[in-house]
Amino acid sequence: MKKLIAFSIAVLSFGITFSQSVMTPELLWKLGRVGSPILSNDGSTLYFTIRYYDLDSNKGQSQIYSISLEGGELNKLTDLKGGVGNLMIGPNGSLNYASKGQIWELDASGISNQISNFVAPMGNLSYSPTGNRILGTITQKLQKQASDEYENYKKANVKIYDDLMFRHWDNWSNGKFSHPALVDITEGKPAVDMKDIMSGELFDVPMKPFGGSEDLTWNPNGQEIVYQCKKLSGIEYATSTNSDLYSYNIESGETKNITLGRKGYDSSPQFNSKGNKMAWLSMARDGYESDKNDLIIRDLSTGEDVNITQKWDNTVSTYTWSKDAKKIFFLASINATYQIFEITLPKKLSSIDPAVHFRQVTNGQYNYRSILEAGSQIIALRQDMNNASEIYSVNIKSGEAVQLTHVNDKIYQGIARGKVEKRMVKTTDGKDMLTWVIYPPNFDPAKKHPTLLYCQGGPQSAVSQFYSFRWNFQLMAAAGYIVVAPNRRGLPSFGVEWNEAISKDWGGQAMKDYFSAIDELAKEPYVDENRLGAIGASYGGYSVYMLAGIHENRFKTFISHCGLFNLESWYGTTEELFFANWDIGGAYYQKSPPASYEKHSPHKYVANWNTPMLVFHGGKDFRVPEGQGMEAFNAARQMGLKSRFVYFPEESHWVLSPQNGIIWHSEFFKWLKETL
């Protein structure tokens, strides 16, 4: 391990000296990753987790910490092997948490006691409002696989499938499904047995691949559960985003589809405290995973649904009811930042007017990432391009924010950080495009600096004030690079029209937007126009491949991670076909193939490639399968270009393990040193 660290530091040298004075990959992995907090019953204390990674063991662990709502000293409450998660306040007011699929209680003396003995591990746990039941999810094998027929052949390794969705994101279909389950609490302790409320159904709750506890919720009456599920399978699942909300009545055992007829994703159900209204997020169009997320409220006494964000030209990220049920707080991206908003609900919901009833609570060059109401305050995680998430207290009336935790202050105080500047760049069609420019620490404008164009993935994912532990702008700037990160066409937070402009035009206006950004910055005397590079992942990786064929010698080097290279072969191997059908326009083999395959597939422009290319790819990336990276590397080498293929067999669309992460950064900066 020491050799690995020494090697990574050595290859990161750019003619500047790496030390504790700037961010390094090793320091990046030492940062604590703060989780969303919960509040004690008396409203005085915040509980949350912090996750730390260890390079030697190649693992991370989360432990529980607390802090007063007023701020002050941070208290570490656990130090348990295997880590903890799923913090809850128990019916008796104690702090409970999940570990190894069971519930543990932390007593006043700091001793952990296991209080459950479930017959199967449970996740996504929550107590009923009445305190007499626990809701969670269990995973069990429900479907026999064709390959099970050959289980006597112990040395064989085979997978056999008859329909689509045989693999998803980074997992092969194995006949196992996750379901909501109920456990009774008797004499203050959870029972051993559990009731599967979707018994026998071959569908998943939470929804794969990213669903969590937000997919299922309690009615305050304690007698009803609402959950999100896409009750489709095979090719129907692969080509549709039509998930619905289902209501389960505990007494009768009856399940009802309560969003029948709504075509897109319906998600994140929440009841207000009175139990007379239910809200959820809804997308209108089937097959469009990046459709506008509207906030719907249903009056449970009348059954009337009101889209309270219909007239608002933006999309909702996450939300929560106020405790008095008179307001809703939500997060949304606006001008490439994520801010907290407040909706004051009128008595007649149909009369809601964003200009009257919506208010932006926070401002500034930050991303807020969670919402927890605590009296006159909102408790939220906040981050920006120079700072990983910390917990803040936000005054609801004034928007004034006070930092409560200082988990990473010691590291940040020991390093110099660069300036992050917001610029408006004119595009080729006369639009104003918000572009972030990140400067090296101790920036000297009298010198010329190598400059990187950052191409965002998604393709509908804002270049906001995020703090990434891989595509970390602070780290790139610390290595001496200026980073140019444009919010090109297709990125949210600038209205629905701007967001939707990317679909079926991947290689069109978005590429022109990239050129507008880098050409504008290249005019600056401190930008070395002869040392420009383009980097990106996913659609950003696609962008790198596309730019390589049309850049007209602007760039000196390219780096693509898990990029789409050949849209035809990608369509034939990806899993969620609804994404390809919407954004590309359909299959390449249909009678009238979409124009995207001819106009916007990077492999069609390889004859123009003349620039070094570094390709990263993961072996378990089923969204953009590994063949895409291999094809691109093959093409670059056959074109006689300096190129390199860095392959992580056990990683998916991301690089998540610490040692692989160090190697990723090592190869990234090593390549830049060699080519830029």
Q: Where in the sequence numbering do the catalytic residues fall?
A: 538, 621, 653
Q: How far is CA 434 from CA 116, 382, 507, in A?
A: 51, 21, 20
Spatial contact of 440 and 477, defined as CB atoms under 8 Å apart: yes
Task: Compute how many other C-beta atoms are within 10 angstroms of the C-beta atom of residue 180.
Answer: 24
223 close to 271: Cβ distance less than 8 angstroms: no
Token couple for 581: 């059908």
Distance CA 564, CA 253 (A): 46
Using CB atoms within 10 A of its CB, is residue 423 exposed (0-12), middle (13-18) or buried (19+)?
middle
* CA dist., res. 112 & res. 100, Å (int): 13
Give the integer Cα–Cα distance in Å for 144 and 156.
Answer: 17
For the chain, what's the residue count? 676
Query: At residue 337, what are phi and psi to the nearest 5 degrees?
Result: -140, 160
How many helices and strands in the chain, by DSSP H and E?
A: 14, 41
Residue carrying the six token digits 């990434």: 468
Cβ neighbour number for residue 324 with a 10 Å cutoff? 10
Structure tokens at 268: 């994140």
3-state secondary structure of 365: coil
Is the CB of residue 314 less than 8 Å from the CB of residue 331? Answer: no
Q: Are 52 and 64 in contact (CB under 8 A)?
A: no
Degrees, nearest 5: CA angle 555-552-631 = 70
| Run of H or E residues at 353 | none
